[in-house]
């Protein structure tokens, strides 16, 4: 009978302490999850902006390196002309 009384006397505070500890762990993990989710949102936003910039750069590169543009710039700015077909020589190795 005394053992049952001691067991019940110490069991309630132990169970209460365990429940309190469990509740604090849940709160802590929820907070950590929210922080990580906010960081994920920021990183996804940054990735979106970087992807947009990359797409713009690819488009700009393809526009600037278009063959007709290169040909036009070589004739106007560098005064280059295409060679005559008779002046072309093939060198065999």
In tens, the pLDDT along 73-91 reads 888 888 888 888 888 888 8
The structural domains of the chain, with segments of one domain joined by +, span 2-76
Distance CA 56, CA 61 (A): 9
Half-sphere exposure of 84 (CA within 13 A, CB side): 2
Helix, strand, coil percent content, the chain, rounded in steps of 5: 80, 0, 20
Predicted TM-score (pTM) of this structure: 0.56
Q: Give yes or no for residue 2 having a pLDDT over 70.
A: no
In tens, the pLDDT along 5-63 reads 556 777 888 888 999 999 999 999 999 999 999 999 999 999 999 999 999 999 999 98
């Amino acid at each position: 009978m005394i053992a049952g009384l001691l067991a019940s006397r110490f069991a309630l505070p132990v169970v209460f302490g365990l429940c309190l500890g469990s509740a604090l762990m849940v709160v802590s993990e929820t907070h950590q999850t929210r922080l990580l989710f906010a960081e994920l949102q920021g990183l996804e936003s940054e990735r979106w902006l970087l992807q947009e910039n990359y797409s713009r750069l690819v488009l700009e590169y393809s526009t600037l390196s278009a063959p007709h543009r290169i040909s036009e710039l070589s004739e106007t700015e560098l005064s280059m002309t295409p060679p005559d077909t008779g002046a072309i020589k093939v060198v065999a190795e």
